[in-house]
Structure 1
Amino acid sequence: MPDSIPPTFNKLLDFESDTEIYKHKLTLEKIRNELINFGLTKSQAKVFIYLGKYGSKTASEIAKALQLPRTETYHLVNSLQNYGLVVAELSHPTKYTAKEMKEAISTLVKQEQERIDILANKEESLSKMWKEIPFFMVETDESKSEKMQLLNGIGPITNKIREMISSSKSDFKIYGSVSDLIRLYNSNVFDWIANASTNLKIVISPLNKIPEFLAKFDSDSIRIIASNVENKCFIVNDKKEILIFMRNANHPTRQVFAWWSDSDTLVDMMNSLFELSWEKGEMLY
């Protein structure tokens, strides 16, 4: 006989597939991960979801249900109140209620936008103060100093790609899987390239399905190579700089890392790899 008692929250997040509530588990996990992306901690997201699906609760009830220390629970509900995601009821003991998800997300988005606006307003003043300080370094070596940069997250990586496109004068070469190209497309990378004075060349490896947006490209700018290896994605700009994804779009984790460098040796090596793949590749149509 089915159990008529609502499942505990920890049971909902249990990933054993032999329970009747299994269909809700992956959805809850996805919601929790998305809330974390909005800036909440794992515990804050857990408390918010619990209140949203189990109704108003006291801190003691939350602590017991989620198996959290009581002092930590008070800290969590207070922080969620500061975010504007939870309200306290005038009762004794105090009960806490989560806002509706749509209202909560709207609140988080507004707060993040306000933070970005504040940082943007500081750009001019910080730049002015920086220029007022003299440059003390004396260059004694006329040779080129090669540079590298590790980029963590879609935002910094996309910004670096946009910088590369804006400086590109000759060739902008992209090697990657269909998933990598879709991610670049969704980040507006190809729109930026279309407005730049550069020649785009793409090598796709492998091609399991042709994305619709590729139909807009000149088929002469695309080559396909058959490969069982789907973890390569890199960009070469004007034979002067490279960006290599350490975890491409096919990687199982959500975290994205990329490595940028203007090392002549590395740029020449990756450019040669691209050109070799281009020569061996077949046209899209």
Structure 2
Amino acid sequence: MATESQINLFDNESDTAMYKHKLTLEKIRNELINFGLTKSQAKVFIYLGKYGSKTASEIAKALQLPRTETYHLVNSLQNMGLVVAELSHPTKYTAMDMKEAVSTLVKQEQERIDVLADKEESLSQLWKEIPFFAVETDESKSEKMQLLHGTGPIINKIKEMVSSSAEDFRIYGSVSDLLRMYHSDVFDWIENTPTDLKIVASPVNKTPEFLSDMDSSKIKALPSESENKCFIINDKKEVLIFMRNATHPTRQTFAWWSDSETLVDLMISLFDLSWEKGESLY
């Protein structure tokens, strides 16, 4: 009967002692999946962690998994360093402590990143040794676009744009957007390039200290009832438009990058018009 109470660990209909912790269990499972475990691996690890040492047969029965698959799961978890096998017959499996397991996963991921970083130069060199076989003509050139989710990828794209900028770099955004860029060192990157910076801040109720330290000729303020607009133009070749900027209630930014000539020209016209209508910030 004890085994029956352990069946369907994540089942909504379960009456087990674990049921009241269902949401917490699902959150832990999802985090383990983010670390690279499969859904089934995460369930097995959680089951062993909370019910103690079990044989493969007991795991299969409790989680309603095929026995063959269960053996594959515990073996893969052993290879990941998250489960250990006891010297008993039949073999019992025990999960590592959660803190130790996470530490193991972090170390493995860091080692993978380090190996990839070490191979960056050699892979790039090997790639260059292979010729490019497509012949690009004016007719074959295509305009590109890229969707970017989250602050990290967006800031990385801005850094790429800054590094390739040679003439002018135009930023239109709210104080919150400009502050986020300031703390991400965007303006420091721009200072180290030959490009000419122009900023339209909209709206501006009070001049932030970090803007006061910048060249006033490069900044203008534009009155507006909305603070959800933000876009960046690099030279006359690419644009980054925020669909969700730093003022969005979720704080989860979402942007759209493109090198579309038509779109870039359109956004340049919008920026230039805003610049003409803007007023000196100080």
Is TM-score (shorter-chain normalized) higher than 0.5?
yes
Identify the residue that residue 38 of structure 1 maps to in structure 2: 35
Q: 1: CA distance between counterparts of 2:132 and 2:107?
A: 39
Structure 2 CA distance for partners of 1:20 and 1:117, relative to 1, 3 Å: closer
Identify the residue that residue 147 of structure 1 maps to in structure 2: 143
TM norm structure 1: 0.67
Q: 2: CA distance between counterparts of 1:215 and 1:156?
A: 26
Residue 87 (structure 1) shift:
0.9
Using the TM superposition, name which of 160-169 and 217-226 deviates more: 217-226
Match of 1:195, SS state, is: helix
Structure 2 CA distance for partners of 1:243 and 1:15, relative to 1, 3 Å: farther
Q: 1: CA distance between counterparts of 2:147 and 2:272?
A: 25
Query: Alpha-carbon deviations, 1:40-97, whole Å to 9, x = none?
Result: 1122122212221222122222222222222222211111111111111111222111
Identify the residue that residue 105 of structure 2 maps to in structure 1: 108
Match of 2:40, SS state, is: helix
Contact 2:200 2:278 in 1 (8 A): no
Structure 2 CA distance for partners of 1:136 and 1:66, relative to 1, 3 Å: closer
Looking at CA atoms only, which structure, 1 or 2, has the larger radius of gyration? 2
> Which consecutive residues of structure 1, in runs of 5 or more, have no partner in the other structure?
none
Identify the residue that residue 185 of structure 2 maps to in structure 1: 191
Identify the residue that residue 210 of structure 2 maps to in structure 1: 217
Match of 2:233, SS state, is: strand
For the pair 1:49 / 2:43, whether they are aligned, the reply is no
Q: 1: CA distance between counterparts of 2:249 and 2:90?
A: 47
Q: In the TM superposition, what are the counterparts of 1:1-285 in structure 2 within 5 Å?
A: 8=6, 10=8, 14=12, 22=20, 24-141=21-138, 145-150=141-146, 157-169=154-166, 170-173=168-171, 175=173, 190-197=184-191, 199=197, 201=199, 217-218=210-211, 225-226=224-225, 235-244=232-241, 259-272=256-269
Q: 1: CA distance between counterparts of 2:276 and 2:50?
A: 57
Contact 1:225 1:280 in 2 (8 A): no
> Which consecutive residues of structure 2, in runs of 5 or more, have no partner in the other structure?
213-218
Match of 1:217, SS state, is: helix
* Partner amino acid, structure 2, of 1:73: T
Q: 2: CA distance between counterparts of 1:203 and 1:64?
A: 62
Structure 2 CA distance for partners of 1:96 and 1:275, relative to 1, 3 Å: farther
Structure 2 CA distance for partners of 1:217 and 1:20, relative to 1, 3 Å: farther
Q: CA RMSD in A?
A: 4.7
Q: 1: CA distance between counterparts of 2:274 and 2:56?
A: 60
Q: 2: CA distance between counterparts of 1:94 and 1:251?
A: 52
Contact 1:225 1:277 in 2 (8 A): no
Equivalences, count: 263
Contact 1:202 1:221 in 2 (8 A): yes
Q: 2: CA distance between counterparts of 1:105 and 1:147?
A: 43
Task: Tell me the percent identity.
Answer: 64
* Partner amino acid, structure 1, of 2:123: L
Structure 2 CA distance for partners of 1:233 and 1:85, relative to 1, 3 Å: farther
Structure 2 CA distance for partners of 1:9 and 1:281, relative to 1, 3 Å: farther
* Partner amino acid, structure 2, of 1:173: I
Match of 1:126, SS state, is: helix
